Structure 1
Amino acid sequence: MNSTTVRGATLEYDDVGPGDGLPVLLIHGHPFNRTLWAPQATALAAAGHRVLTPDLRGYGRSSVGPDKVLLADFADDLAGLLDHLGIERAVVGGVSMGGQISMEFQLRHPRRVRALVLSDTSAPAETPEGKEFRNRLADRLLAEGMDGYAHEVLDKMLAGYNVTRMPEVAARVLEMMCATDPRGAAAALRGRAERPDYRDVLAAVRAPVLVVVGADDAYTPVTDAESIHRLVPHSTLAVVEEAGHLPGAEQPDRFNAVLLEFLGTLG
């Protein structure tokens, strides 16, 4: 584990694989941390790629920042991390909120994107109802902590059948959620409530894009992934069977196979 200070925040991150390998930056979703990507980091590093998995500000071991953190703040933090590591361009990918941060990174730092990986995410702007929900949830997490929320959403983060079928995975996901600082989670929720529409950004992407989704994702279903796939000129769509919102955790071998095949096309 490594750390650096970027834009006033201390970011903890892992940097594995050969230093001269293709850099792959993987961005976790809410309310998780960099260890969500452990199965991918191991597989990609073994294949010769350099894998960067940071804790976003407010998550994991990174420092908690202001009361509201925009997706733009996360994207600029990650650009700063790449600067710190001397990396000009990288494959940038994320799951859920991490996918939206990847889209924001494409918007703000397009020349630094070698390719995009968008897993279980959505491109349209937040709706008025969604904005109200996220702000109310932020208030709740600050008042009550993470545990009640984490237990409520576990069978949506994972496909319901995988909660019982994969108790070790369920326990790991639940532990990550419960360990998240409510202040960091609330700040991200308030920022995400203001997220813009990324569809025009995606339509203009000329880099290769991999769109991945769990077949039984309750939050961002296959239809959302298909919409992104139709928008992006040079995209590949992969549906991971027997998985929900976190296919990289639920079906790591299948997810890794798709990801490695995609990375192999980049040369």
Structure 2
Amino acid sequence: MRVLKRRAEPALAVRVAGEPNRGLPVVLVHGMASDHSTWRPLASALRRQGRPVVSVDLRGHGRSGRAQGAYRLDDFRDDLVYVLDVLGIHSADVVGHSLGAHTALRLAMHEPSRVRRLVLEEVPPMPRDEADLSEGITMKATLGEQVRGLLALVGNPFPVIRFDGRMGDEIVAEFDVCAPQWWSELPRVSASTMVISGGERSFLPPRHLRTVSEALPDSRFVTIDAGHSVHRDRRAEFIRHVEEFLGPTVP
């Protein structure tokens, strides 16, 4: 792991495989209470295709530092911008899961030219209005997902041990506020995008993810009936979709 240290912000840990300046890299961004290790199977598959891979530990996760103040969604986005800048990456394909997918999408909205292709696995949308708020869509796992998560925890407890638990309530609070401007800015995304839903087994209703996909200028929608953690619970199918979408080479 390479640790990018900063004065006023948390240090960020990244795992770099290959040479980011040779070929278009793929940046992998994990979900809440996870870390870069969740992407090992996908990272290995992408490396076999010759793609440079950068796996990021978001602030408050893994080997990255913890925030001194509150955790904010835009801070995660700005952390990705910093990683790209330090590594000299002008453009990349980005794959994100859950909070990481939301962060990747914010990056593509904020700096469209930095993202060529975008994979959003189980991306939680901001509430559009009071109807969305009343539906109570929050980043909390169903019972089945909790069981599968516990099994994964037994195999690799370190991501949860290193996770800054106070982050949860602060981030969920941002999803409890109507944000119609977030939806109005989705057309800024120029990246070709694949939105992956875990189907009806996920706590995120597929219809909301489909709505996100439909709001993006160039997007396809895929359902893999696996629940919230598709890349973990339907690994081979997930990797196949990502490989086909990203492609092994860049024109």
Q: Is the 8 A contact 1:156 1:218 kept in 2?
A: no
Determine whether 1:259 maps to 2:242: yes
Q: Is the 8 A contact 1:68 1:186 kept in 2?
A: no
- Unaligned ranges ≥5, structure 2: none
The letter for the 2-side match of 1:53 is S
Q: 2:198 aligns with which of 214, 236, 259?
A: 214
Determine whether 1:10 maps to 2:11: yes
Q: Is the 8 A contact 2:133 2:177 kept in 1?
A: no
RMSD: 3.2
Aligned length: 245
Q: 1:43 aligns with which of 34, 45, 54?
A: 45
Q: 1:180 aligns with which of 154, 163, 171?
A: 163
> Per-residue deviation at 1:245?
0.2
**2:217 match: secondary structure:** coil
Determine whether 1:60 maps to 2:62: yes
| Alignment correspondent of 2:215 | 231
* Cα distance change on mapping 1:134 and 1:61 into 2, 3 Å: farther
- Unaligned ranges ≥5, structure 1: 138-151
The letter for the 1-side match of 2:219 is S
Distance in 2 between residues matched to 1:115 and 1:221, nearest whole Å = 24
Decide which moves more: 24-33 or 197-206: 197-206
| Alignment correspondent of 1:97 | 99
* Cα distance change on mapping 1:219 and 1:175 into 2, 3 Å: farther
Cα distance per residue 1:148-201 (max 9 Å; x no partner): xxxx9473546x6xx3xx985463477633542223445544555568443222
| Alignment correspondent of 1:200 | 184
Q: Is the 8 A contact 1:91 1:114 kept in 2?
A: yes
The letter for the 2-side match of 1:68 is A
Distance in 2 between residues matched to 1:51 and 1:39, nearest whole Å = 12
| Alignment correspondent of 1:248 | 231
Distance in 1 between residues matched to 2:189 and 2:237, nearest whole Å = 26
* Cα distance change on mapping 1:13 and 1:155 into 2, 3 Å: farther
Decide which moves more: 212-221 or 183-192: 183-192
Q: Is the 8 A contact 1:202 1:231 kept in 2?
A: yes
**2:15 match: secondary structure:** strand
Q: Which has the higher helix share?
A: 1
| Alignment correspondent of 1:122 | 124
> Per-residue deviation at 1:43?
1.1
Decide which moves more: 169-178 or 1-10: 169-178
Q: Is the 8 A contact 1:18 1:45 kept in 2?
A: no
Cα distance per residue 1:239-264 (max 9 Å; x no partner): 113x1101001111100000000001
The letter for the 2-side match of 1:123 is P
> Per-residue deviation at 1:25?
1.2
**1:92 match: secondary structure:** strand
Cα distance per residue 1:14-59 (max 9 Å; x no partner): 1113542321111111122121222211111111111111111111
Distance in 1 between residues matched to 2:144 and 2:73, nearest whole Å = 23
The letter for the 1-side match of 2:105 is M
* Cα distance change on mapping 1:87 and 1:210 into 2, 3 Å: same
Identity %: 27
The letter for the 2-side match of 1:11 is L
* Cα distance change on mapping 1:204 and 1:156 into 2, 3 Å: farther
* Cα distance change on mapping 1:259 and 1:218 into 2, 3 Å: same
The letter for the 1-side match of 2:31 is G
The letter for the 1-side match of 2:236 is D
Distance in 2 between residues matched to 1:46 and 1:232, nearest whole Å = 30
